[in-house]
Amino acid sequence: MRFFEHQDWARRTGRRLLWLYLAAVGLTVAATALLIVWLLPWRTATGGLPLTALAWAAAVVTAVVLGGTLYKVRALSRGGAVVAESLGGQLLRASQADRQQRQLLNVVEEMAIASGMPLPRVYVLPEYGINALAAGLHPRDAVIAVTQGALDRLSRDELQAVVAHEFSHILHGDMRLNMHLAGLLHGLSMIGLSGHYLLLGRPRDYRVREDEDEHGSGGLGWAFGIFGVLLGALLMLVGFVGVVLAGWLQAAVCRQREYLADASAVQFTRQREGLVSALHHIGTGRPLRWHAPQAPAYAHFLFAPLAEDWLLRLSATHPTVLQRIGRINAEAAAELADTLQHAGSGAGGVSDYSGWLAFGSAAGHGGDGQALMTEWQPPDDAPVAAAALDAAAAMLEDIMHVHPEHMAYAAWLRQSLPAVWYAASQDGEQAEALVCALMLSEDEAVAAAQLADIETVDYALALRTAALQRQRQGLQAAHILPLLDLALPALAGLPEGRWPQLQPLLQRLMRADKRQRLHDWCVWTVLHSHLNPPAARASCRWADAHSEIAQVLAWAAGTAADAEEDAYAAAARYAAIGQTLPLRRLSLLQAAVQHLNGLPGTDKARLLAAVLCAVCHRGRPNTAAREYLRALAASLRHPMPPLLDAEAHEVADSVSC
């Protein structure tokens, strides 16, 4: 299955989930109302149940369930940070990260560049078991959270496999589905949670250190008196139906998606040992309870299941570790089964590759003693199967999947980023200057006018932009869009109203030299697509959008320089539209892309394939073509791995750093 098919699956599952939720609400309301009326001394003269009391009980239960759902959905609308912070997560910042945290940031940044996605915010969860999660409604508000136990106990290869697993959930639409599921399940569990609070107080915390005993935090329910205790016990009893149904919904949606995410992680990294070893650590370790009381509500987000009690076993959200390892490596699963039988322990496949911890320095090291690569080195065993395919088909395969080649290229690209530009991408104010600097013209007179325009808006911003522009040496064209991806979390975290204030300025900078620069449009489109809420879009059909498709293909063909007409003709034949090359205008391109956003997913894939026909007409795409493809894909809400330029050829299975 490809990206759009995964997204379609997530949407269909979301619709089925809504129907299942409504059915579960009906069962919960009916069972709870009947139980309430049966337990309380309400009877008709004939000993039957009074319909009025039954109706009132059903109405109250319905209000509680739907109210709980609406409350949780509204709370989760702020994005994945809500989930991470409710579990006690702490946001990681590059300037404050220690060695372990820096390695985690490196791994997440590599995955973001390799998959063509905006960089998620990264959190560390204060738990000592090995676990991780991805949460968010959209890629722009996504977070990756990893437990402290994973940082302490996993090698870099193992950590990369876990992060790749979580990125798969983002790419395939599972993350958004999980957010919706969390809101629905909260409503179903509301009655039981209310009873738990009345009887026992807040859910107790658990210590998670292996060398400490687990002690509860104590209940508060007795403060309500005997009536509160009895009511709490009643609500826990009647709410049990909703809790069980909520768990079953979690399990129904999540189990098969874990297998898919495991398979995708192996595909991304092209090595099974990292994921198998991480799962082996989990399988042979002692189960640890989470201290965060909200953890069960988010169990379906997690990489590994929570420590199971009898209730969790009724609705397991994950396959067992043995089952997951068996899908990847049957021999490793058999070895783990034997290890568990003999109460042994062990971890295999641990690599001594720890990655670099910073970008280039004057000493010529990446920050942890590893020498910097001076140029991209493809491997001796570069894959040759793609050579038998035509260029468009090979590139279409690239655009639909993240491959280990992209991971290796992303690692090299991250390593080669100038330190000052990377540092700017991590800070809100400096990220503003970074975006403005990328918009400055190569013409000194025009650049001076642009800086003067920036100064009229914000004098300090103009100073920061000029300072960054003076250090442009070493910044390559291939760095531009990855830098934007890395800067998106900082830009999204700007004070409210700041980004809308910057947008008119950036548009003026684009028009300053009165030229149509595709590079500026690409920068603007990536920023606008990821920082602005998705606009409502009307559906459109391929047959009715030939003029818009032609405009998009014309700009793609324009990146082919001396072969523009031939490239357009090849793409037009593929798209089955007229072969007359239209006049190119950026305003027409912008309008066309907005209109084509209404195409069905399969037609969006067809459009991207046609663009690839144009840019690959004379071999591998150049930097301008790669920027255009990346911006177009961002506008179509499609993550796109980086397309490697002509100098890179086929990239390595891995990079030795």
Catalytic residue annotation: 166
The neighbouring-strand residues paired with 122 are 144
The rounded distance, in Å, linking the Cα atoms of 263 and 274 is 12
Of 72, 61, 40, 645, nearest in space to 398 by CA: 645
- Phi/psi for 121 (5° steps) reads -70, 150
Could you give the 3-state DSSP secondary structure of residue 393?
helix
Q: What share of the chain is helix, strand, coil (3-state, %, to 5)?
A: 65, 5, 35
Q: Are 446 and 511 in contact (CB under 8 A)?
A: no
Q: Are 219 and 166 in contact (CB under 8 A)?
A: no
Number of neighbouring beta carbons within 10 Å of residue 566: 14
The rounded distance, in Å, linking the Cα atoms of 80 and 138 is 9
Could you give the 3-state DSSP secondary structure of residue 13?
helix
Q: CA distances (Å), 274 to each of 100, 216, 271, 351, 357, in order?
A: 17, 35, 7, 8, 20
The rounded distance, in Å, linking the Cα atoms of 585 and 258 is 45
The rounded distance, in Å, linking the Cα atoms of 232 and 221 is 8
- Phi/psi for 147 (5° steps) reads -75, 155
Q: CA distances (Å), 88 to each of 27, 82, 85, 419, 599, in order?
A: 34, 10, 5, 31, 41
Q: Is 561 left (phi over 0), alpha (psi -120 to 50) or beta?
A: left
Number of neighbouring beta carbons within 10 Å of residue 194: 17
The rounded distance, in Å, linking the Cα atoms of 132 and 301 is 8
Dihedral of CA atoms 227, 229, 232, 237 in degrees, nearest 10, equals -110
- Distance from chain centroid for Cα 562: 39
The rounded distance, in Å, linking the Cα atoms of 108 and 146 is 11
End-to-end CA distance of the chain: 33
The rounded distance, in Å, linking the Cα atoms of 569 and 547 is 14
